[in-house]
Structure 1
Amino acid sequence: MKKKKIYFITATNTDVGKTYAAEKILIKYHKKGKKVGYFKPIETGVVSTPLDGSKLLKLTKKFNSDFDFSLNEVVPYQFRLAASPFVAKKKSCIDIKNIFKQTKKLLKKCDVLIIEGAGGLMVPINKNYFMIDLIKGFQDLFNSKTILISSSALGSINDTLLSQKALHNYSINYQWYINLYKDKKDFKKVTLPFYKEYFDKISFL
């Protein structure tokens, strides 16, 4: 039996590039000849259709015709309000066990499953359950690998170090990448010097 791989894409904040990173990883493993799959358990700010989920499900089906899941199966929790899942769900219920159950179904149709989180690590899903708890759950249950995406914008050093500290505190293994898309001209002058001094390795998307 082929060993399945799961990558959970998270970020230092919202609008940092999780969907872009998920797309790049889908393409990477497709080029390696792997059957790829995509899962976004929760998407908020959904007016008519989940934009991130529908875009990457379409790409996934292009790469893997066996991944015959509907949009509602790939994005099981959709909420109209562009807010944290805890706020956006209002009186609805987000069943964490159901998310893990759905993961098992999706894994049957792929070799590599890319999971895209919502917002940053400390975004609340339920009152006392945060995105980082979901990531930890995936690692414990599925031996998933976590990918942390940082912005290149001014102020990103603080967000990056806080996020990395949180991941360390939860004993979550992760890879770190910078999405060089904001303040690109200033990044080399105001942010990169510290990263070069502080980290042994710096990787970009």
Structure 2
Amino acid sequence: MKINPKEYIGKTIFITATNTNVGKTYACKKFLNYFSNSNLKVGYFKPIETGVENNTPLDGTRMLELTKKLNPDFEKVSINDCVPYQFTLPASPYVAKGNTYIDIEFLKEKKEYLQNFCDVLIIEGAGGLMVPIKKEYFMINLIKEFKTKCFLITPSKLGSINDTLLSIEALKNKNIDFEFFINLYEDINSFEKVSKPFLIDYFETLNFLQDL
């Protein structure tokens, strides 16, 4: 699939994945550079980051620094705008937040604020689709409430077929508009024989992050 950058002007893209450590931050970097190279002003937003050390959200800070290099208008954005909720425990937001109340309306306001400085806003989720934010509110609910396009990042390792299909079914059940991209980072040598034959037969075409 060839992404047409002009179709995303004024829009947001939520980067999620089948699980943690599948490559969401790497994907954000790829898409930030891709849209910037297409002469669009890019923005970045990570509503919640857990596992924060020394009061510094590592992923959010790295991506904000990159975004500022690509789009000088984002110099106005602080790390607290970019990553509103920061928690030290490396766990789901529901657990990591402790007694903190995560205000979804506040996050929607932050999203709208950041859109003032860019043509396309890349939003990075935490973990996979069913990572809990509240007792009965998951990352997939946040995607739906943001009314955003979703890019699902899937792995190349053994088990990727199951992980990919389950996540796609969840997105379809919520009527969320999405595309999926495979991150060739694990079991690369065996992917061609183990997983790709079914995936290519089932989907006919595959999108790889490494092709951006």
Task: Give the TM-score, by structure 1 length.
Answer: 0.95
Distance 1:176 1:15 in 2: 16
Q: How does 1:78-117 map to 2 (within 5 A)?
A: 78-117=86-125
1:162 paired residue number: 166
Distance 1:42 1:3 in 2: 24
1:182 paired residue number: 186
Distance 1:60 1:71 in 2: 12
Q: CA deviation at 1:3?
A: 4.9
Distance 2:201 2:37 in 1: 35
Which of the numbers 195, 201, 207 marks the counterpart of 1:197? Answer: 201
1:60 paired residue number: 67
The code of the aligned residue for 1:41 comes to P
1:145 paired residue number: 149
Distance 1:170 1:177 in 2: 19
Distance 2:73 2:200 in 1: 43
Distance 1:177 1:199 in 2: 12
Does the 8 Å contact 2:22/2:183 carry over to 1?
A: yes
Residue by residue over 1:41-88, the C-alpha shift from the partner in whole angstroms, topping out at 9 and shown as x without a partner, is: 000000121111000000000111111111111000000011000000
The code of the aligned residue for 1:200 comes to E
Distance 1:38 1:64 in 2: 10
Name structure 1 gaps, 5 residues minimum: none
Distance 1:165 1:55 in 2: 32
The code of the aligned residue for 2:64 comes to L
The code of the aligned residue for 2:151 comes to I
Distance 1:132 1:118 in 2: 10
Residue by residue over 1:139-190, the C-alpha shift from the partner in whole angstroms, topping out at 9 and shown as x without a partner, is: 1xxxx21100001111111111100000000001101100000010111111
- The list of structure 1 runs, each at least 4 consecutive aligned residues, that deviate by more than 3 angstroms after superposition, is none
Distance 1:69 1:3 in 2: 20
Name structure 2 gaps, 5 residues minimum: 1-7
1:135 paired residue number: 143
Which of the numbers 15, 25, 31 marks the counterpart of 2:37? Answer: 31
Q: CA deviation at 1:106?
A: 0.4
Distance 1:172 1:3 in 2: 19
Matched residues, percent identical? 58
Q: CA deviation at 1:202?
A: 0.7
The code of the aligned residue for 1:194 comes to F
RMSD of equivalent CA atoms: 1.1
Q: CA deviation at 1:138?
A: 1.2
Secondary structure of the 2:77 match is coil
1:70 paired residue number: 78
